[in-house]
Amino acid sequence: MRSNHVKRNTLAGAIALALSAGAGAQDASVERASLEEITVTGSRITRRDLDAPSPVVTVEAQAFDETGTLGVETVLNQLPQFVPANTQFLASDIQPGPMNTPGASTLNLRGLGSNRTLVLIDGRRGQPANASLVIDTNSIPAAAIASVEIISGGASAVYGADAMGGVTNFKLKDDFEGASFEIRGGTTEAGDGEEYRFSTLLGTRLGSSGNAMLGIEWTRREAAYYHERDFFRAELFDTTTGGFRVLSRFNNVSYETTASNNAPTQEAVNALFPQRPPGVDIPRTGVFYFNDDLTIFRTEQSGIGFNGPIGTGQYKVANGVLRENELGTLLSSPLDRYSLFGRAKYNFASGVSAFSRALFVSTEVLNSRMRGAPIYGGFGADIPYGPQIYAPSVDPLTNETLPEYLPGGALGLHCPATGGCPTSLVWPVPIDLATLLESRGPNVYSTTQFDPSTGQPLIERGVGSPWRLGIVPDWLPRRATVNRTQLYQLLAGLEGELGLGDWTWEVYASHGETHTTASYTGQASTNIYAQIVTAPNYGRGYTATGPGGKTLTCTSGIPVFERFEVSQDCIDAINIDSVDRTDLAQDIVEANFQGGLFDLPAGEVRGALGLSYRRNSFTFTPDFSRDLSNVLDVPAGAFGATRVSGETRVREVYGELLIPLLRDKPLARALELELGGRYSRYNTGAGGVPTYKALFSWAPTDIVRLRGGYQLANRAPNVNELFLGASNVVSAGVDPCLASGGGALSWGNTEGNPNRAQVQALCSAIIGSGSSDFDADPDNWAAGGLGVELAVQSGNIDLESEEGKTYTLGAVLRSPFEHAAVSDLSLSIDWYEAKISKAISTVSNTTTYELCFNRDGLSNPTWSLDDPNGMCRRIERDPGTGGRVRTLTPYSNLGALETAGIDVNLSWRAALADIGLPSLPGSVSLNLSFNYLLSFEEQDFPSQPKRDLKGTADRGGLFDYRAVTSLRYHHGALHTGVTWRYMPGLAHTQSISDPDTTTRGTSAYSVFNLFGGYGINDHLTVTFGIDNLLDEDPPIYGATPTSLALGQTLNSVYDVLGRRYYMGLRMSF
């Protein structure tokens, strides 16, 4: 991105400390830990060392200061254990739902999913963002973070459901006294995407026995844009790249042929394009567009007939197809966040302590698409046409045409004085369009239907039939979603000593609520738009009065084939500003006890046990315009959703044991077991679920410690998966009934398929009418229906919990050397394997068709409508056109996920004088965090084979290996350093199903970040840095032999913002 503009993404500098994880972070604390009992993430038992049997990576608070980004998830996503999930770079997500909160940022350990990554705050569950029970990291004030501990393995025996991929525990600051004020800011070299944060932290003692702390934080992230970066701007002019940021439909009026047997004749179409190559037919189906002079053009044949400017940035020809670029697209979503954090603790004379914590966060995130509402395809309007007289235009007694239809009349038409107005003049069309419409054949319904108002036969096809108008209205406000979330969580409890040895107890309760409103702008009412545009002259002077005296007007009408300023009453009538609401409440009551049980020769056996009750209630209320109960209207481009409401409750009991087996024996400086179990009883079909763990830690010498074990984890179905009513989700899918075109499939209705006859018979059986367009000519059937397919998702109260098995085995090595140059050296190596079965998901539309149409040769060998898996009965197709309509996809316990890999963490530190540079002051440190992915397999459906995803861009990017290395220099109050993040190339997702694909993935990628800080005095510290120091462009993703794919990349994986600068100032008193 070496242009005048660039953007900021991740702050790898933060990883410098993050990488001192594992052995490095733990070993550095051994001496301190020996002085006090501590609790390590992954166990409820307090202990006097940090040699836990589970691999723990620690990210210190300084990591969040040494970066230009203010997004917590962006810092953590640099660690090899994480795979990006929801990030700030999903800025075009404008469709919220029960499990999707546009603008939310989530964490995803091992690529197993955000809903399988448990996020804790001080070892306790945070307040979820939506029905998937994920935590939005935007709700965690960065200024309050003391450290983050990450266990990348199952931990359900300790923390309950959802800890399948692992646990991320945010430890917040405690016992703070004084005042701290911080201001931070940064910007990209492109001059956009500015980020600011102001925070203050106040703490005081409560007498001699307590402490109270209050933190306030404000964060703002400005928008960043694609077109401000050369890397993405290259796409606008690349003639080989169709691109991700091109409009799927021109910002233009269009004529859509809705059925192949009602299309214009080939002769009429060819006659409009005399410039076509000899012998080449221009498609007579599909979409016809209009130039400013109302002549017709097509996107094929390099935009044949188009007479607008090409190559100026808005329009381009790519691979022979005319495209319109979507200018002004957001690269990163803007954010505003206010947070309030407080905690207090007071120690009573009785030995009992009271503690409390409060968190309030208000977040506003804008996600946007610049184009207007997509009023085309299934949302388009059918415009009357033909020579027949439009009955309302004539006085039946005098046979005179009514005045408003005459030249100079209120409707702006040019109808004859007598006899009424032909329909084709009531809705006037350009000459080219009239030529096409009048070439259509005289086909009518096979069973004649009649207009209840006029008694005349309804004509579906032919000269007198309606035509489908598509439009992308640039006169409506741009489409956008503003996601506003207000979240709070209150926690209070008591703790103390039991009076039985060193046993302690803790009882607490917490209550939290999340309230989210997703406000849509720029949407269009499909019904009102259709009423207006199908009124004479496309709605000019339209007025209608409804029940209760409500009046709807549209003075100017809709600008279809004329250019004029649309009157405000038309905009107000059609535009919909709707609001979806999400409300979630969580209540937790928990009691924990821990202490020593008895002594063994090797040491004390310690235990922990506890009881827990947790309730999650959730309600998602879509705006009435999108509610499935509203069958009269829907916003264009949106699909029906249903209200979701439900509650899950779970009662749990758990226990842990820490058993020292050997101590100070030959080849056994220490050997101990950590055992644990939990039983959870749900109020849903999940019923009773046991989880357990068996871990070991063995130190044969002082310099080597082996660790590992087995954990059985679970994830209970959430409210949405249990109680979701039928809700529509747009799906690309496949169509094996297509006989030709780009979507035709080798295993479908194509000439080369030896099973074509069986495929056609199954297509006809699913359609069910026997008289559809498909049945009329299955060998040549092209398309029909809505133009999109819907997946109708629904909940399932009989779902069982997912089950996860995690295995770990590793070693921690401490330096055996006494020389100061290498004495502070540690290395940890850990192997892991995670297997998830009974994964809860829906069957995709593609998988549904593949199973129904026997793609694998096994799923439906007789091509029966009643196939063994029951997939064919889930498919619905249009009985008239034969096109796809929807598939039914209830949540079910379906496939499996399996992954395995090796984590390596290295930490070293030494004074410069100790490594042969005695004249130089200070010290240096090196940290390395490395992951090697051995395997990652996914199974979508029980009868399907597993797919190998390792090394592909699937699930957010599953690299063969990843490495983050940081080199730091320390001298007194000064520290500075550089972080290097390296990732090899990724194969394209197409390679998963087609190993011979010519579509390429990404190349190897390196990015460097520079960071530093200086303590000016005891009260003032400055931090500074440059992210993406060398202004490295992200690698291209999706190139083919015929497409350079310029500007195409994986936004959440690579640094798409470019070089950026930041500075922070902290004052402490």
- Quickly list DSSP for 494-519: EEEE-SSTT-EEEEEEEEEEEEEEEE
Span 738-748, average pLDDT: 83
- Confidence grade of residue 258 (pLDDT, cut at 50, 70, 90): low
CA distance 616 to 512: 10
Neighbours of 11 (CB within 10 A): 30
Span 509-532, average pLDDT: 93
How do residues 841-882 score in pLDDT, each as one tens digit? 999 898 999 999 999 999 999 999 999 999 999 999 989 888
Report the side by side order of strands in the sheet with 381-383: 296-297, 287-290, 254-256, 467-470, 381-383
Which residue is it, tokens 């492109």?
A: 190
Instruction: Tell me the residue ranges of DSSP E strands in 838-895.
Output: 840-841, 875-877, 884-890, 892-893
How do residues 607-626 score in pLDDT, each as one tens digit? 999 999 999 999 999 888 88
CA distance 732 to 790: 8
User: What total of structural domains would you count in the chain?
Assistant: 1
How do residues 113-142 score in pLDDT, each as one tens digit? 999 999 999 999 999 988 888 999 888 888
Separation of first and last alpha carbons in the chain: 42
Lowest mean pLDDT among 53-67, 82-96, 256-270, 571-585: 82-96
Q: Does 884 fall in a domain?
A: yes
Span 500-510, average pLDDT: 95
Say how many CA atoms lie within 13 Å of 454 toward its Cβ: 13
Is pLDDT above 60 for 3?
Answer: no
Q: Does 728 fall in a domain?
A: yes
Span 797-810, average pLDDT: 93
Q: Does 609 fall in a domain?
A: no
Long-range contact pairs involving 856-860 (C-beta distance under 8 Å, separation at least 24) = 856/944, 858/943, 859/943
Is pLDDT above 80 for 30?
Answer: no
Burial class (CB in 10 A: 0-12, 13-18, 19+), 387: exposed
Quote the tokens at residue 804. Answer: 């996860």
Lowest mean pLDDT among 771-775, 863-867, 921-925, 1058-1062: 771-775
Of residues 386, 548, 554, the one with CA closest to residue 466 = 386
Span 677-686, average pLDDT: 91
Q: Tell me the sheet residues that pair with 150.
A: 57, 168
- The domain containing residue 848 runs over which residues? 722-798+843-889
Cα distances (Å, whole numbers) of residue 48 to 36, 698, 925? 6, 16, 27
Which residue is it, tokens 């497409």?
A: 1043
Return the percentage of the chain with pLDDT > 70, whole number: 92
| pLDDT for res 703 | 94
How do residues 1031-1061 score in pLDDT, each as one tens digit? 999 999 999 998 899 999 999 999 999 999 9
Q: Does 538 fall in a domain?
A: no
Burial class (CB in 10 A: 0-12, 13-18, 19+), 522: buried
Burial class (CB in 10 A: 0-12, 13-18, 19+), 519: middle
Span 21-49, average pLDDT: 48
Is pLDDT above 80 for 26?
Answer: no
CA distance 76 to 84: 9
Q: Does 23 fall in a domain?
A: no
Strand pairing of 210-221 and 1005-1015? unpaired
CA distance 375 to 471: 5
How do residues 4-17 score in pLDDT, each as one tens digit? 433 333 333 333 33
How wide is the angle at C-alpha 339 spanned by C-alphas 338 and 340, nearest 5°? 135
Span 324-330, average pLDDT: 84
Could you give the dihedral angle defined by the CA atoms of residues 283, 287, 292 and 295, in that order, rounded to the nearest 10 degrees? 40
pTM of the model: 0.87
Is pLDDT above 70 for 885?
Answer: yes
Is pLDDT above 70 for 570?
Answer: yes
CA distance 678 to 152: 19
| pLDDT for res 260 | 59
| pLDDT for res 349 | 82
Question: Looking only at Cα atoms, what is the longest distance across the chain?
Answer: 117
Could you give the dihedral angle defined by the CA atoms of residues 374, 376, 380 and 385, in that order, rounded to the nearest 10 degrees? 140
| SS3 call for 340 | strand
Quote the tokens at residue 575. Answer: 């535009």
Is pLDDT above 70 for 36?
Answer: no
| SS3 call for 762 | helix
Which residue is it, tokens 């060392």?
A: 49
Q: What is the mean pLDDT of the chain?
A: 88
In 234-367, which residue ranges form alpha helices assigned H by DSSP? 266-272, 300-303
Which carries the bigger pLDDT value, residue 53 or residue 852? 852
Is pLDDT above 70 for 96?
Answer: no
How wide is the angle at C-alpha 450 spanned by C-alphas 444 and 451, nearest 5°? 115
How do residues 654-669 score in pLDDT, each as one tens digit? 999 999 999 999 999 9
Q: Does 5 fall in a domain?
A: no
CA distance 487 to 477: 30
